């Protein structure tokens, strides 16, 4: 059991939880994630580490309510406990001096950028972050990302905040203006694919963070398999960060939509129950 010590609604259906997880906080490294079950009867879901406090023994995660399990997680309040929490999982990003690093974060890809950008800046990289959302109210964690970056560009699809347009358009402009050594894109699959498409002809190393469905998250079940460079990889133990130029995005999209019908049914069935706090 892992107790929730703080809960903040960052935007509609987007929640930040601070959770007691002393060992995870002690060993966490940038780019890793946890797997948790809100209730004993819940599914296990992977969520990226947004931040951690070694001294306090707590971690922060940010998630969007999209289905049954995230709905269950959002129903927990400060003082309640998450039934199980396992981590830190996944390969962390190597903290090296790459030079000028550009982060591209869309939607729920923004939270994991924070600690990766902060640590890459700390070891001497020049960090520029481009974050984007559909509209102003969905731009989250602006101050934290600003603090972790040397430069911050904000985009909204509808132009209600920052510059109007997609993060990929801002990246394209930047690519024409500056020498860039590394691009790290985290967010929706089409965005990561578009970023990889932009940087491939320029030969700029590009890392993406893949989000396939996961089950055990220990490399045993094979549910999270992705195709990278023609080989099968398990995102939970080989990733979730991979070379964007090598990823088979069409295969990832196909696998992500495999259970769309069941997911929609589960959400419909549980929405009312979870908010009423009936036993799931
Ligand atoms: P489901 O019923 O499983 O699905 C509901 C809807 O969400 C469906 O439309 C479905 O297609 C979509 N969906 C389901 N799983 C995913 C997925 N893996 N990626 C994208 N869409 C999905 N989410 C966050 O909000 N914050 C994070 O920091 C975060 N980090 C992640 C890190 C990793 C390594 C991975 C693999 C996924 C991460 N996700 C994150 C996605 C998160 O795990 C899913 O949103 C969650 O499992 C959905 O569970 P559910 O039961 O609520 O919804
Ligand atoms: Fe089972 Fe990765 S989730 S092998």
Give the model confidence (pLDDT) of 46-102 as tens digits. 999 999 999 999 999 999 999 899 999 999 999 999 999 999 999 999 999 999 999
The Cα–Cα gap between 6 and 159 comes to: 32
Residue closest via CA to ligand 1's atom 5 equals 67
Task: List pLDDT tens digits, range 154-191.
Answer: 999 999 999 999 999 999 999 999 999 999 999 999 99
Ligand closest to the CA atom of residue 64? 1
Residue 117, ligand 1, Cβ within 6 A: no
Taking the centre of ligand 1 as the mean of its atom positions, its distance from the CA of residue 96, in whole angstroms, is 29
Residue 219 CA to its chain's centroid (Å): 20
Q: How far is residue 274's CA from residue 206's CA, in Å, rounded to a whole number?
A: 40
Ligand 2 binding pocket (C-beta < 6 A) is 214-217, 219-224, 234, 236
Do 223 and 259 touch, CB atoms closer than 8 A?
A: no
Tokens of 246: 């090598």
- What's the pLDDT tens digit per position in 127-150? 999 999 999 999 999 999 999 999
211 lines ligand 1 (CB under 6 A): yes
Ordered by where they begin, the domains of the chain are 2-91+264-275 (2.40.30.10), 100-209 (3.40.50.80)
Residue-wise pLDDT tens digits, 216-244: 999 999 999 999 999 999 999 999 999 99
What's the 237 CA to ligand 2 centre distance in angstroms?
8
Give, as one character, the DSSP assignment of residue 148: H
Beta strands at 151-156 and 126-133: parallel, antiparallel or unpaired: parallel
User: Best of 215, 232, 252 to mutate for ligand 2, by most ligand atoms within 8 A of CB?
Assistant: 215
Q: How far apart are CA 12 and CA 34, in angstroms?
A: 23
Alpha helix (H) residue ranges in the chain: 22-27, 68-74, 110-122, 142-148, 167-177, 189-199, 235-238, 249-256, 260-276
Ligand 1 close to Cβ of residue 115 (< 6 A): no
**Cα–Cα dist 96/156, whole Å:** 31
């Amino acid at each position: 059991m892992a107790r929730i010590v703080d809960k903040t609604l960052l935007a509609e259906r987007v929640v930040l939880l601070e959770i007691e997880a002393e060992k995870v906080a002690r060993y966490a490294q940038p780019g890793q994630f946890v797997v948790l079950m809100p209730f004993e009867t819940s599914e296990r879901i992977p969520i990226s580490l947004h931040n951690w406090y070694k001294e306090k023994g707590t971690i922060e995660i940010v998630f969007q309510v999209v289905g049954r399990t995230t709905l269950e997680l959002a129903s927990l309040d400060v003082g309640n406990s998450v039934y199980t929490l396992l981590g830190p999982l996944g390969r962390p990003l190597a903290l090296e001096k790459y030079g000028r690093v550009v982060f591209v974060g869309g939607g729920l890809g923004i939270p994991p950028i924070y600690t990766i950008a902060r640590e890459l800046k700390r070891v001497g990289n020049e960090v520029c972050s481009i974050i984007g959302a559909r509209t102003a109210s969905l731009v989250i964690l602006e101050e934290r990302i600003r603090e972790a970056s040397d430069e911050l560009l904000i985009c909204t699809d509808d132009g209600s905040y920052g510059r109007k347009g997609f993060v990929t358009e801002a990246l394209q402009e930047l690519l024409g203006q500056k020498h860039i050594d590394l691009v790290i894109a985290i967010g929706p699959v089409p965005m990561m694919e578009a970023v990889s498409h932009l940087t491939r002809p320029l030969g700029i190393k590009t890392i993406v963070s893949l989000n396939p469905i996961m089950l055990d998250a220990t490399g045993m079940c094979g549910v999270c398999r992705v195709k990278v460079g023609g080989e099968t990889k398990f995102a939970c133990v080989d990733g979730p960060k991979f070379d964007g130029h090598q990823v088979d995005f069409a295969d990832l999209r196909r696998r992500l939509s495999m259970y769309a019908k069941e997911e929609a049914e589960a959400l419909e069935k549980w929405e009312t129950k979870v908010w009423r706090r009936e036993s799931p």
